[in-house]
Every structure is written in structure tokens, then in C-alpha cells.
Structure 1
Amino acid sequence: MTVKLLALSGVALATLATPALAQTAPKPVPVADLVKQVDIPYSEFRLPNGLRVIVNTDRKAPVVAVSVWYNVGSKFEPKGKTGFAHLFEHLMFNGSENAPKDYFTYTKAMGATDLNGTTYFDRTNYFETVPVAALDRALFLESDRMGYLLGAITPAVVDEQRGVVQNEKRQGDNQPYGLVQYKQTEALFPATHPYGHTTIGAMADLDSASVADVKEWFRGHYGPNNAVLVLSGDVDAATAKTLVTKYFGAIPKGPESVVPTADVPTLAAPKSEVMKDRVSNTRIYRMWAVPGINNPDAVALDVAAGVLGGLSSSRLDNALVRKEKLAVRVSANNESFAQVGMFVVSADVRPGVDPALVAKRLDEIIADVIANGPTADEVARVATRDAAGRIAGLESTGGFGGKAVALAEGALYENDPGFYKKQLAELAAETPARVKAVSAKWLTRPVYALTVVPGAREAYVEATPPAKVAAAPEAPFKGTRGALPPLGTLSSLVFPKVEHAKLKNGIELVYAYRNAVPITQGAIVFDAGIAADVAGKLGTQALTLDMLDEGTTTRDSIAIAEAKERLGASINSGSGSDRTGVGFFTPSANLAGSLDLFADIVRNPKFDPAEVARLKNQQLSRISAELTSPQGLASRVYPKLVYGAAYPYAKGLGSGDAKAVAALTRDDLVAFQQAWIRPDKAKIFVVSDRPLAEVKAAFDARFGDWKPTGPAGVKDFSVKTAPSAPKIVLIDRPDSPQSFILAGAPTSLVGTDDLLPVITANDTLGGDFLSRVNMDLREARHWSYGVNGSFRRAQYDTPYLLGTGVQADKTGESIKSLQTDFADFVTTKGITPEEFERTITDAISSLPGNFETSAAVLGAMQQNDLYRRPDDYYATLPQKYRAFTAGQLDAAARAALDPKRFVWIVVGDASKVRGQLDSIGLPVEVIPAASVADVR
């Protein structure tokens, strides 16, 4: 239910002199010391009705994470009712007896952030982070759907969310390898096993769900005695107890939810299957059912998975990808649930290689780890990586992985909110001998071997909705608890002070101090971006970035990967429309060593010809994969249609042009690097708990003597070719249970202008869960799992893009409905007073929650620089929002958007979709999916 945007990062340089690195950098901090830094103080109490409440006080921001975890998931579902737990999670967002509107209506009015709900095998949870002034209201709402929901569940609501869930299922199934999850659960677990079916459920079972069924499900599982409530943030235990008692105390106990017996099954004999899918690469899997987190062997299995295929320097990466070049991607993961887990190893076969050879080598490497165990260094690297990740995650109070999650998970699964500490202690104490013994215990049992090969899918099992029966008119339910609690006085955003300094060579350092957790994050950002890619050689920048950590003049790719893991650091590169960057994260205790490695990567990449050849093959494989993905196909087509073929931003065609990438040489990469990845195009951004003076000295020692080589690259935005005329481009992708729609329209907007009015107006049109387009296709028609539209802001151009997946038989009607939504919004049906009020309220009150983490602050600093805004820009937003009027926002939207200029890209099965599109009234151009690579 949430959409997140990804930030950028950057590159490397080949022929410059080695920087003056700090040769006396201390050794990485031992993992045992990192683990000691992970601490979440908490207190807890229980209400007489059984509700368990856990409170963590964290005063770093005026927000509180509210997280409710119910002891109910798909493992509790009886035969014939698969998917019920997840369907009910959706129903809980559709209003309760005393808060009858969509739940997001209320959370938006509070400025909630990090809000969602999820369901898995073991639990269902609901969470939101709210301003402390809205805590009363948030607790009222959570208590209302815990104790006062049944009156709000009607046949119409069940039908609506059934359709939404079925489109969520189609969306996942529509992806390459999207059907593997069903084979996996069916093979590893008996059909009668609690974990023997997927959480999303079967279409037929979802079709059969009735109001009576879902109400019975609620009565059996959603009582307070079956839940854990965690409050983490700007709240103390005494206040929490008063408020929780007030809002939850009157809810009666429900039946005890009995956790089903779930032994770890062992296959009677090895099982091997082959399935066909419309994929680009053959993928080989090896899978076992293993114990879950309630078994002491789970942590050792985590380490085994890391050693095999989780680390960047894993055994499988080093052997199959780097040295033998048999695979283009490998992975190993131990996915632990409460009672069982699934240990999964996979490899994507390099095109032209015999899959049987890859399978043989995969099995040999797994067998070697089992027989001989990992090294002590491998175990330590896995433990350091995992501990550093946990430290970073705990900067958030809530969301998908913050403090509230750690406390709730331990309480629900292990009756111990502090269970995370035991897991980390076990991780730090793991030894090669123990990992070897546990691997031998569980991974020598019969294996499930699945191979996915390119080919036509089997017929898709579609939904057969029950015939609609005219229901008797329902009297509106009446509230029994009074009005919503009032909001308190909202606290203003306190954005960290941003400071500026210059290195000895003039590179600007932009810095902010944050000390909630002992980490440092940063990026060196270059004035390059997608617009700087090489015309006629698209993909040059991507390959240059891929070579970033594949060897420097002093380290090979394995040494780089191992160094990052020992430090608990990550170093990644990427590009946006206008900027290219290299980003880093490290525990601050390892800052010196991490910056030594970071500088070596940025300044001294080797571009070894053998590594260039290997990475080219991997990039060509990614391009092939993009041609099998709905989103990948659409993303490769839209730039030239929306920007015009010759415009610099039209270069953003996924991973590049396959023919051009195949022809790239080392010299091409060095030339790009010297033109763009250079100190005179660089700025450094850092957020850290270390003082500016220390950070500046550290960067000066490593980058202060860096000088550019040769002429700098130049981007030319002076010639703008015309975007495409309105039309529909249908990319024929057979066997698609959904159609993916990407619509784009050019605008006259420039990213460096003040776009706040039009972006704020879009909150109502397409930028929010409650937006017109999402409420239309998802909630009113339930043809989609979600719709999102936004202005794709770039420095010199800002088109509007909208994306959604819709069920195949509603493709044409969906486009017509979206056309009507857009036309109405910019003509006769502008922003209503209610929409305006909730947009402005949310925009202001969500600011403290939006900047809870260092990563958010780091991204904001870069955005301010790119769009030429002052450092205190975000602190000035409340005043700007309060000055807006609905008419001003309407005028901004109407000036920017012309619904008649949209180009519609549809990725779907032409045999099912073409006839629907012909009735829309736009020219329809059909492109086979395999031909998209040739669209230039």
C-alpha cells in the first residue's frame, strides 16, 4: 500500500593517481562491539483484557510509532479459506463503526508517515508513525478497528477488497518468476501443513469469501488478548498506560488464537521439477524446509546462507559469477518464519552456458560448505554485515523495520521483546564449526530442485467472482464512542543545521549532524546523470558504474567485497536524470577504514579488460530481463515518446542499448569516467554523528589532492525534439494476467522552478493513496492494486507519469476512466475543500516523520542542491503550505497538465487487449515484447 522513491548514488575514476590514503586507519571494530551498540530500552504492561503493551521512549523527533501485531496469519487458515488473513488485513483499512471512512482519510489528517499493514504466515500487523499530538487519535482508530469493526463490514466492502486482493495477486504473478512461490510452498510442505499455502491465497478461495466468513474470522482472531501493541517514540510509559487504557480497556477478550503445530517437514526423496515462464534466463533453485526463528539453529543457517550467496564475496558469487563466469546472478537466503523457514539457493545461468554444468557446480559448492564449513573470516563478515544493518534500521521508530518491529516480533513469536538481542548475541558468537554442523544437519536432507526455463506459461487460473445477489438495504452503522479525539498542538519540523565546507582542492562538502544512531552516510555526487550517457552508446554510464567496485589499482573485486563486509559498510552507485553518485554507509566506528575503501573505489578503478567483459555480459543479461518485465518494457519505451527522441533525458532506456553495450570497450569507459567522474563536477554530502571538523579532515585526506584529467563532459539541452503525438503503444506480452499501463505527458515545467503548488495539487490527482485515480481504479472499481501519478522532476524538464497494473479484461475501460479523471480534474472538478484541507494538513504535520532518518536528510540535502533551494527549505514549507488556496493549486495543475497530450503505453496480452484499445479513439501501435530492444 505504500510507494517509495529511490535515491541516487555515483561512480569511479581510472587513471588518476592514488590519493593520499590514511595508512593508519584502525582495524574494523569487532562484531561483538557492534552488537553492544544495539539497544532498545522498553517497559511493558498488560491490560485486564489481555492486551500486551510495550513502550520505547525515543525523544529524537516529536513522533510516535504505533504498531499493532495480531497473532494471526495464513498458517491459521483452514482448507478452502486460503488468503483470508490477508483479505481481512485489507478490510481493516475500509472503516470501522466509529470511523467509517477509509482509514487513510484519518491518518492523512494526522500527518502519519510509515503507515501500512502486512500479512504473512505468522502475523498480521498495522502500523503508522504519527506526530505526538495525534497519538490520542491514532490509538482511538486502532482500538476502533480492533473492537468495533463488524458493523462496518458489508457485502460491498468484501467485494471491493476481494477485487483489490485478486489484483494484488495478479500483479505479483505477472512478474518474471512470479509463479515460483506456489511451486515452492507446494513442494516443501504437505497441503495440510500450516505453511503449505501462500499468504496471498487461491483465486477460488478468495471468490468464495462471504461476509459471514470474514466476520467469523475476525471474531476468532482479533481480540486484544491476541495482540501486541508497541509504542516507540516521543512517549513515556505512564502516558502510554493512561491512553491505552482509555481507548483499548473496554474491548472484551476474544478467543485465544491457538498456534498450530508446524513441524519441519523432510521430503521422502529428492524432488526435481522444470517449469516454463516467460523469462530471459534459466534459473536453477535448490530449496529445503528448515527451522524458524524459534529454533537455535536459525541463526547458524542465516550465516550459512550469507557465506553461500548472501555476501557480495559469497562462495557462489566468487566461483560462478566472478571466476568461472557460468552465472550472471546468484543468491542464497534463509527466510525464517516463526516456526519454520525456507532455505533457498538460486543461480541465473549465463546465456550460452549449459544449465546442467551450472547445476553441477552449484551442488558442488553447497556440498563443500556443508562438508568443510565456512572460514572464521566469512562468519565474521556475515555477522558484521547483519549487525550494521540492524543498527541502521533502528534509527526509525516504526515502519517496516524500526524499533517497534523488533520489539513486537520478539514479543509475538518468542514472548520476549528483547529477543533481537539474543539473536544478535548468537550471531556474534557463531563459529565455523557450528555453522558446518547445522548446515550438515539440515541441508543434507532431500532437496527440492526447481529449474525455470524460458517458454510459454501454463494457463493462468483466473478468478470467477460469485454472482452478485441484490442485498437488502443496510442501515448505516451508528457510532457508539463519540467523536474522534482532537489533535494536540503539532510540533514544527526541526531540520538539522546544514553546514558547508570546502576541501583543499575546492570540492564542496555539505554536512548535517545526526546522532540518533552511530552511523555515517554520504555520497559524492557528480553533475552527470542519465543526460550524460553517450549518444549512440547508451549503457556506457551504467557499465562504468557497474565497474565501480570490480577492482582498483590495489584491490580486486573480491578484496573490495570482503573489505566492505569486514567494515559493515556499503558502497553503491547510481544515477538520476541529472546527477550521478557514489553513496556509502558505515558504522561510524569504522569511518576511517570505510573512507579509505570509498576513495580507492572512486579514484582508482582499474577497468580490467577481463572484468569489463564479464560485467558486459551481466548488463546484457539485465537488458534481456527488462524485456520480460512489464515495468521494464514500459520503462524502455516511454522516454523517447515523452521527451522527444534526441533530448538528453530520452537516454534513460533501462540498462542501455544491447547492441551498443556489446560493442563497448575499456577505452569507452575510461573516456566517460574522465569526462564526468571528476573533482570539478563533484560535491560531497554527509550526515553523521561525527563532528564536521573530523569529517572534513577525513575527506580532505582522501580527496583533497584530486585533480581532473582532460576536458570535462558537456550536456546539451539546447535542442529539444518534439514528444510523440498522443497514441497508444501496445507491447504484446502473451500470458499476462494483468496489463501494465504507463501514461506520460510532456509539460512546460522546469525542475529548478518553484513546483510546490503543482506538486501539492497532484496529491489530490495521483500522488496519494486517497488520490482520484487510485480511489477510482482500486477502491471504486477494484480493477487495480494501486495507481500512482507524479511529476517526474528533473533539472530542465518535468513530464507527468502515471503507472498502474489492471486486470487484463478491464484494460480499455481503465484507460477511459483515467482519461475522465484527468479531464475532470483540470476542468470542472477541481480540488474540493475536503481534499484541500487534508492535503495541507498532511503536508505540514507529516514533516517531522518524513525526516526521522539520516537517509531522508541526506536525500533532502541533495535535492535542495539540485533544485537550487536554500538549506532551510523544508523548515519553510509549513508557511508556504498555509499560504496556498485551492484555487491556486487548481490553476497550477491546469496550467501544467493537458490530458489530451498523454501517450499511453500498455504492456499486456494483445490477444486479450487489442480489441479494448481500439474503442478509445487513439491510434494503436503494436510492438512485440521481443522487439522493444530495437526501439531506438
Structure 2
Amino acid sequence: MRVLVILAALLLASLSAPAMSQPPIPLPVVAYDKYVLPNGLQVILVEDRRLPIVAVNLWYHVGPANEVPGLTGFAHLFEHMMFAATRHIPRGLADRLLEGAGATDSNGSTDLDRTNYYDTVPANQLELALWVHADRMGYLLDVLDQKALTNQQDVVRNERRESVESEPYGIVEEALSHALFPKGHPYYASVIGSHADIQNARLEDVRQFFASYYGPNNASLVIAGDIDKAKTRALVERYFGSFRRSPPVARPNVATPPITSERRVVVPDRVELPRVFMGWLTPPAYQPGDIELAVAAHILGGGKSSRLYKSLVYERQIAQDVDATQNSYGLTSTFVIDVTARAGHTARELEEAIDAELAQLRDTGPSEREVERARNSIETALLSSIEKLGGDGLADQLNHYNQYTGDPGYLPKDLERLRSVDAAAVRRAVQAWLKQDARAVVTGIPGTPVIDDPRAPKKKAAPKPAAQQHINADEPWRAKPPKAGPAPAFTLPKGESFKLANGLTVIHHHNPALPLVSAQLVVRSGSAANPVRLPGLAGFTAQMLEEGTATRSAPQIADELAQLGAFMDSGTSADASSVSLLALRSTFAQALEIMADVVQRPAFPNAEVERQRADRLGELIQQRDEPDMVAAVAAAGALYGARHAKGYGQLGTEPAIRATTRDDIHAFWRRHYVPSNAALVVTGHITLDELRALAEARFGAWQGEAAPPAAAGDASTTRARLVLVDQPGAGQTALRVTSIGAARDTPDYAALQVMNGALGGMFSSRLNNNLRETKGYTYGVYSAFRLDRTPGPFIIAGNVERAATDASVREIFREVRAMREQPLPPDELAAARDAQLLSLPGQFETSGEVGASLAELFVYGLPLDWYAGLPRRFAQVDAAQVQQAARTWLAPEKMIVVAVGDRKKVMPQLQPLELGAPEVRDDDGQLILKKEGK
């Protein structure tokens, strides 16, 4: 059958039936074909014609589990190497061709047991994706050289600085792995490895690794989407069938010594709040005890209905956030609890409170109702994850099942094992595995981190190229990229809309692929509607909606949603506030009733206001630990000024959070959360008639006067060209080059998107190719226009190596000027334009993505057929329009450089750039001194 999910029974329970009388939904079955080529490549095909796109997902069964001591991080480094040149594809060409063909979700990743590579492409470009993946598998060694290795060593070391050393608690979490496993164990190091080992990798090591692990007999290929299976089989045979096997790969067989007495480590980090990590060694993936511990993790730390949240965050208010996870891997799994302290509380308090909850769970076990909540939530999350074909969606899940169970169609069995878990089984698993003397406790505390980041050796003259290795015979026909097939016809989502008598707009889009329904209640008022004296008020109000109504307390809301297997969240942007909901079709009506209650009847209890005040103050403290966020808030203040609502982050400021009263929150809700200012956007497995009845029943009685228009104030942009935030000891500089750009209704919309794609919006963009791929200054840099109701910011952002701060700024301005001075060459224009145009279907894979897009149309007053006309607008963009857009919206003389990093090391670099005296701001983005001398 040409469907993603075949249901064992077609009749799902009625939307209006009581939730507690619902039987479990029928087990979904993924219709797939699996076969093996003579060279050992496993191939898994799934035909799904929902959209004219195809996901290509290739797993190599190799990761850190296969590394040898002294080469930690090698599997991940090699992942990067696979994007270098191959015999038939010069470096960078694959990215340009795939993006120009409309690819989405193009990337790779490494975890402890595997490395994967994936692309989602328009259906007529499947052959292009196979050509790229096949040439990497068959012909990487033919041209692999030291230059490519040296560049990616620089990139990966910058990735480590960004994702581990600059990431709050990154080195603390790494220390947990060191505490759980002995040195020499494959899981001892983090996936990314150490600077020393990354730098010490030799070209010969890379070649040997490829020859050992990257043969077809150590790989599995999933192709899922709009395919013809017979034609796809022929293409797979053409591109992969002639490759030779690699030597047989022995599966890692490493004994993990048990922990017999508690291990304790304290790690200083550049953070303000202590965090406690507790870790245990647990059964491998899909072995007895694994799923029971996954349920236990949800009971302990899975959202607001969990025990740790209720006790530590809600009741005692000693924790800022809690989490618990069963991380399932091949050699052994880990069960990890991590809890961040609330300001003024200690790690010792957290540890004692966690221990009390663990003891209670061990002694008495969970209730059956708690287990049911956890099962339902995990099931909804699993089903929603396969709604997407590519990325970490369906194709990746099939490869995951295939590696760990040998059965890519394991989904119904996975749900069966989940549904079979009961309270007694969870208690037994907790008693057996989560013992106090079998754990590691790692505490992150505020302090100066110890980071081993040796300098790379000075670059020597390039050695004579070594003789290249050739595993597979050359086939000259591979030298030309395949031509695309006939362009598939596609229609972008166009919702159906109606209004209730009270003025509420309701927008519907039907997608019956999975028994899931997504909803958003969006209002046209966000942070731009904040009063100047209370930045953050819109976000505070949205956060309070889930904290109690006239008939439900905050814990009751959390428990009821979890019981239904539903997820609800609230938040704000500059121009909108929203409450989002995801639920199974069978429980959507009950979940929507809760959503309607929190939107229409919030109580704003004083005690909850004080709880959330403390939470927001804690979030503000945590925000200071994130260099990217600090840069973003400082940039907003510099661009818009203190008298403009956009001059702040969504959290606002500490004085404003402390000054906000319950009356302020209630008044904002009363003025803005009214039906004439709102839309209910519902997408998924629900018909228009069903939604019409539900919307009238849940929202028909909602009343309210018309909302006032937002008045954000006048921007007061700083005259300074350089804004500095000092973070002594930072190994990288978080850079933002920014100016005020366009509004959402700009007639230049299509030209702006094409121009930005070429400049910094795509991986193959000029900025990323220059600073990452050529110079190795950064793990990545991007540019974007935030198109608000009133002009939003244009940003160029990235974390760069500290010593390359000045060079990075120079290159950024060089690329901006070049975009203004010369029209895009025809090939570059076509690639940037086609990347926008042809990727459109891939941007509407899930009901949540469709709903968010339809909600955006409502917020900005655009017609529901706006997306239908977007392909034509993109197709008409020419080089002159792109250059004019660059000249209009990219004004180097108006751009402000925001640098968050070690001032003593960075400022001497920036002085020669003649940006003038710096404006200095603090970690909250607030002005310290207007200007300061050199």
C-alpha cells in the first residue's frame, strides 16, 4: 500500500468520546521492503506519496564504539571528512547541487554506535542524492588529502569549543562520561573527542578508518517517500552495486565494568547556577529493563507531571529545571538525571531531594496512573517523530531499528513492549539498576573551567601528495551529475478558514497520515506590545496561562495532559503569543478542552505568579551563560534602544520581572487574548466538520473587546559601530553583525530570501564557505532577516575562534560589500533561487510545520493562498532584483558589530578595523558605559 502507516483497524475512536474509555489505538505498521545487495549493502524502501519528496538516509555502523585509545572523536572527525571531495565530485559541489535542487535536512551526525548521512530531496532528484552518497562511499579515498583533513580539524575543534566548552555545563556533562566509564572504554570520551586527539589524527588514520568501516557491507540505506520501488531498486543497483566489500567488521564486544561504589566529581564551569548530574550504567538498547527505565525516566523527570518537577521545582522551588533520560546504546545504556539549582540553593540540597524521590520510587514504586501517563506521552512522541520523512524522522527511525534489532519494521513491537510496562516492572527495574552505590555524581559549580585546548602546530609546507588508494574501479559515467527527472507537481498547503460569531478565526488543514492532531491558538500580540516599563510582560503572561485556571490547578493541568498523551506549550515572538497543542486523534477533544480553559479562564493565582517570577529570574541567569543569547540581547538593545519594545529579549530585564504584578499580567491577557485578535489553527487527522463542532463547543462563548494596536515605539539605534560584552577566558567570540532590516510585508520578500540564501542562508553560502570551509575560523556562520510586522533585524551570526575575531569581521564585511557591488553570477543565482523554490514541499512535512505556517499568515494579515503564489514569485527573481535588494537592505556603514568574548584578547584585534570606540554592555545586554577609550 502506498501509505506511510497502515492501521490494523481503520475505525479510530470518536473525537468526542470520553478519554478514559478509549482503548489503545491500533498498532501502526510501516510498510517497507528490505533486501541486501551481493556486496552486503542493506537497502530498505518505503513508498509514501504524501508529498513529492524523498528521504535518503545512510547509516554506517561505526562510531566511538569502534575507536581505539588515542583517537577519541575520530568517528566524528571522519563524518566531517565524508563531506570533502571525492573522485567525481569536487569539494563543495555536492552541497551546492543538493541545495540548488531543493534539498532539506541535509547533514550528517555521529553517536556512540553509528554515523549517518541524510538528505531530503524533491522526488525527481532522488538520483542526484544517490550519486552523491555513492561517490562518498566508493571514491573518497581516491582524492583524500592533507588539506581537507587540516581544514576539518580546525572546524571540528571550533565545534568542540562551541558545543562543549562554551555550552553551559558542556564540560560537566563530559565529566559524567569520564566518571561512568574507565579510560580506554569506547564510551569514555564525548563523541566529539579531545582537542589533542582531533589534532593528532593523521591522514593515514583517516584512510585506514575508511577502508575498515565505510564499505557497503557495513552500511544500511533507507529510501522513504514518493518513489517507485522497482525504479528505485534499479538506481540503487546502478550506484552501489559495483562497490567492493570492506573486510568483515566485528561488532564491538567490550565488557563494561560495573560501578560498585559511588563516584563523585566536582567540575567548575563558566555558569552561575550549580547543576547536579547523576548517572548509572543500565541495560543495552532493547534489552530487558531498557523500556522500563525509559518509563521510569519519564515518571521522574518527564515534564511538569513528573515527580522531580513537582517536588523540586513546583513545591519546594529549589530547582530551576529537571530532566531524566534513559540513553539507550549498543554496549550499555546510561540513565541520567540532571537538575539545575534555583538561585540561592545548593547542589547538596538538590542531591538530598533527588535521593528522597529515588528512595520513594525504589521502595513503593510508581502508581499505575503514573505509568499510564508516561506510556501515553512516550507513545505520542514516538508517533510524532515519524511524521517527518527525513532528518531524525521516519527514515532514520527505520535505520535505528534495523541496527539495534535487525528489524526495520520494529515499530509495532516497540509500542507493544512500551504498552506492556506496568508499575511492578518499573519498580523492579529501578531497584535493580538505580542503586546509590552504583552511580556517578558529577556536580557543576560556578568557577573557572579547566580546558585543555593546545595550539595547533604551525602549518608546515604541504608534503608531497601520497599515492592515492583506490578501492573501487573507476566508472567514467559517474563523472557527470545525473539529470533531474520531470519536476513533480505540488500544491502548497492552503488552509480552509471560517469565523465564529465572536470573531475567532479558525483555520483547518486535513492530514490523515497519522492519528495525530496539532493545534495552535495564536494572538496577534507579542513582545512588541510590551509597555516600555515592563519588557517581558507578554512572555510572562503566556507562561502564566499553564499555571492554573478557575477550575484546574497547575499540577492538574500537567497531569491531565500527560494522561491524554498530549503536549502543550506557550510562548511569544515579537508579533504573536501562542499556545500549542499536540495530541492523539482519539484524545484531541479532551486536550483541546484543557487548551481552551487555559486561554479563556486563566486564574493567575498570586502564588503561581511568584513561582513563575522566580523561574523567569532563573532563566535570565541561565541566559547570561549562553554567549549566543547574550549577543542577541545586546544586539537588540543596540539596534532599538531602551525606549523600544524590541530593545530587549523575550525575558525582559531583572527589574521588570521583579516589578511585574498579577494585575499587569491580567491586564495584558484581558486586552490581547480576545477572539477578534486570535486564530485557532488545527492541522492533522481531523475533518473540517469535526473541527467546526469542536471550535464552537470549546471557544464559542469566548468574549472580549477589540485588542489595541501594538505601538512598539521609535527605534533609537546606537551611534556606536562596535558593541562589546566581556566574558573573560572565553575560548571563542560570539559575533553578530547586525542592522535594522525589512518588515514582513516588504515587496522585496522573494528577492530578499534569494539574496540572503546566497550570502549566508545556505550551508554553501558565501559566508559559510569562506569562514568555515576555506578559513576554518568557525563551526558555522549564517545570516537571516527577521521579518516582523515592523522592520526587524538583519543578522550575521556565528561563534568564531578567538584569535580569528578580527579576520572574521573583515571577511564578513568583504562578503557583504561583494553582494552589493556585483550581481550574482547565473549559476549562483540559479542555485540560490532554486534552493528557495524547490525546497518548499519539504518545509511542510508535518502537521506542526503546516500549522505554524498558516498561523504566520494570520499574524501578518496575509491571504490563505499566499503560499500558492510563492513558487511563482521565487521563479521570477533575477540578478538585478537580488543586487538591488542587497543595495537596499545591506548597508555596511549602518551595521553594528557585537562581540561577546574575552575583551583583553579581542579588543586589540578589533581596534585596527576602525569601528570606533566600543559601546560596552553587560551579560543582560544593558548599557554599562556609552563609550570607552581604547
- Give TM class, smaller chain: over 0.9
The equivalent of 2:3 in structure 1 is: none
1:798 aligned to which of 792, 800, 808: 792
Which residue does the alignment assign to 2:50? 60
Q: Is the 8 A contact 1:749 1:896 kept in 2?
A: no
Show the counterpart of 1:92: 82
Q: Which amino acid aligns with 1:925?
A: P
> Which residue identity is paired with 2:898?
I
Distance in 2 of aligned mates of 1:207 and 1:593: 56
Q: What aligned pairs does 1:510-529 form with structure 2 within 5 A after superposition?
A: 510-529=507-526
Q: Residue 932 of structure 2 aligns with which residue?
A: none
Query: What corresponds to 1:716 in structure 2?
Result: 711
Which residue is equivalent to 2:831?
838
Where 2:222 maps in the other structure, the secondary structure is strand
Do the aligned residues in 2 keep the contact of 1:51 with 1:224 (CA within 8 Å)? yes
Cα 1:443–1:594, aligned 2, differ >3 Å: closer, same or farther? Answer: same
CA distance in 2: counterparts of 1:219 and 1:29, whole angstroms: 57
RMSD (CA atoms): 2.1
Matched residues in 2 for 1:877 and 1:610: separation? 48
Which SS does the other structure have where 2:568 is aligned?
strand
Q: What is the match of residue 357 of structure 1?
A: 349
Alignment of 1:174-213 (within 5 A): 174-213=166-205
Matches within 5 A, 1:798-877: 798-827=792-821, 829-877=822-870
Q: Secondary structure at the match of 2:34?
A: strand
Q: Distance in 2 between matches of 1:687 and 1:218?
A: 45
**Aligned residues of 1:493 and 1:848 also touching (Cα < 8 A):** yes
Choose which of 406, 410, 420 in structure 2 pairs with 1:419.
410
Q: Distance in 1 between matches of 2:451 and 2:502?
A: 63
CA distance in 2, matches of 1:300, 1:502: 46
Q: Does 1:668 align with 2:659?
A: no
Find the partner of 1:774 among 756, 768, 773: 768
3-state SS, counterpart of residue 142 of structure 2: helix
- The alpha-carbon deviation at position 268 of structure 1 amounts to 3.3
1:761 to 755, 767, 787: 755
1:906 to partner: Cα distance: 0.7
| Cα separation, 2, equivalents of 1:932 and 1:850 | 33
* Residues 118-157 of structure 1 deviation map (CA, whole Å, 9 limit, x = unaligned): 0111000001111221112211211111111112311111
Query: Is the Cα–Cα contact under 8 Å of residues 172 and 443 in structure 2 kept in the other structure?
Result: no
User: Shift in Å at residue 164 of structure 1?
Assistant: 0.7
Specify which of 289, 303, 306 is matched with residue 295 of structure 2: 303
Distance in 2, Cα, partners of 1:105 & 1:346: 41
Shift of residue 190, structure 1, vs aligned partner: 0.7
Task: State the partner residue of 1:33.
Answer: 24
CA distance in 2, matches of 1:483, 1:83: 34
Mapped to 1, the partners of 2:288 and 2:419 lie a distance apart of 14
Please state whether the residue corresponding to 1:905 is helix, strand or coil.
Answer: strand
1:282–1:926 distance in 2 versus 1, CA, 3 Å: farther
Q: CA deviation at 1:474?
A: 8.7
Q: Cα distance 1:872–1:654, how it changes in 2: closer, same or farther (>3 A)?
A: closer
Q: Secondary structure at the match of 1:698?
A: helix
Partner of 1:3: none
Alpha-carbon distance between aligned partners in 2 of 1:428 and 1:299, rounded to the nearest angstrom: 10
What do residues 302-348 of structure 1 show as CA deviations (whole Å, max 9, x unaligned)? Answer: 01111111132111111111112221211111111122122111222
Deviation at 1:585, TM superposition (A): 1.3
Structure 2 residue aligned with 1:119: 110
Match among 434, 441, 452 for residue 449 of structure 1: 441
Answer yes or no: is the 8 Å Cα contact 2:347–2:443 preserved in 1.
Answer: no
Q: Decide whether aligned partners of structure 1 residues 457 and 876 sit closer, same or farther in structure 2, where only a CA change above 3 A counts.
A: same
The whole-number CA distance in structure 2 between the counterparts of 1:706 and 1:41 is 44
The answer to whether 1:575 aligns with 2:568 is no
The alignment status of 1:542 with 2:532, answered yes or no, reads no
Aligned-partner SS, 2:24:
helix
Shift in Å, 1:931: 6.6
SS of the aligned residue for 1:756 comes to helix
Whether the aligned pair in 1 keeps the contact of 2:753 and 2:836 (CA below 8 Å) is: no
Other-structure match for 2:11: none
2:871: which partner in 1? 878
Shift of 1:780: 0.6
What is the one-letter code of the residue matched to 1:541?
A
Structure 2 counterpart of 1:128, one-letter code: D
**Match in the other structure for 2:652:** 656
Deviates more, 1:749-758 or 1:275-284: 749-758
Q: Distance in 1 between matches of 2:640 and 2:659?
A: 26
Aligned residue type for 1:404: A
Partner of 2:138: 147
The change in CA–CA distance for 1:421 and 1:338 in structure 2 (over 3 A counts) is: farther
| Larger CA deviation: 218-227 vs 79-88 | 79-88
| Secondary structure in structure 1 of the residue aligned to 2:29 | coil
Shift of residue 425 of structure 1? 1.1
1:381 aligns with 2:373: yes
Amino acid at match of 2:704: P
Q: State the match for 1:596 in structure 2.
A: 593
C-alpha contact (below 8 Å) 2:121/2:129 kept by paired residues: yes
Q: Deviations over 1:732-780 (max 9, x none)?
A: 1122111100121123656454411122111111111111111111001
Matching residue of 1:253: 245
- How far apart are 1:486 and its partner, in Å? 1.1
Deviation at 1:825? 1.4
> Structure 1 unaligned runs (5+)?
1-21
Give the TM-score normalised by the residue count of structure 1.
Answer: 0.94
Corresponding residue to 1:405 among 396, 418, 431: 396
Moved over 6 A (4+): 473-479
Deviation (angstroms), 1:862: 2.1
Work out the CA distance in 2 between the residues paired with 1:79 and 1:356. Answer: 35
The aligned residue for residue 463 of structure 2 is 471
The question of 1:370 aligning with 2:365 is answered no
Alignment partner of 1:786 out of 780, 783, 791: 780
Equivalent in 290, 308, 314 of residue 306 of structure 2: 314
Q: How many angstroms apart in 2 are the aligned matches of 1:748 and 1:386? A: 42
TM-score (norm 2): 0.94
Give the SS at the match of 2:292.
Answer: helix
Identity %: 33
Match of 2:8 in 1: none
Match of 1:908 in 2: 901
Where 1:284 maps in the other structure, the secondary structure is strand
1:251 maps to amino acid: F
1:695 aligns with: 691
Contact kept? 2:572, 2:650, Cα under 8 Å: no
Q: For residue 70 of structure 1, what is the amino acid of its counterpart?
A: Y
* Aligned-partner residue type, residue 628 of structure 2: Q
Q: Distance in 2 between matches of 1:542 and 1:77?
A: 46
Distance 1:522 1:878, change over 3 A: same
Task: Quote the offset at 1:351 in angstroms.
Answer: 1.7
The code of the aligned residue for 1:686 comes to V
Contact 1:746/1:800, CA 8 A, preserved across alignment: yes
- Does the 8 Å CA contact 1:632/1:654 hold for their aligned counterparts? no
Instruction: Give the alignment of 1:470-509 within 5 angstroms.
Output: 470-472=462-464, 480=476, 481-509=478-506
SS of the aligned residue for 1:544 comes to helix
Is 1:705 paired with 2:701?
A: yes
Classify 1:479/1:893 alpha carbon distance in 2 versus 1 (closer, same or farther; 3 Å): farther
Name the CA shift for 1:656/1:931 in 2 (closer, same or farther; >3 Å).
closer
Q: Distance in 2 between matches of 1:739 and 1:922?
A: 17
Q: Deviations over 1:706-728 (max 9, x none)?
A: 1116x7444225x5233222421
Indicate the SS of the match to 1:261: coil
| Separation of aligned partners in 2, 1:925 and 1:897 | 22
Q: List aligned pairs for 1:255-270, cutoff 5 A.
A: 255-270=247-262
In structure 2, the residue matched to 1:630 is: 627
User: Per the alignment, do residues 878 and 708 of structure 1 end up closer, same or farther by CA in structure 2, a change over 3 Å counting?
Assistant: closer
Between the aligned partners of 2:256 and 2:143, the Cα distance in structure 1 is: 39
Q: 1:63 corresponds to which letter in structure 2? A: I
Contact 2:631/2:925 (8 A) holds in 1:
no
Q: Secondary structure at the match of 2:221?
A: strand
Ranges in structure 2 where 5+ consecutive residues have no aligned partner? 1-13, 930-934
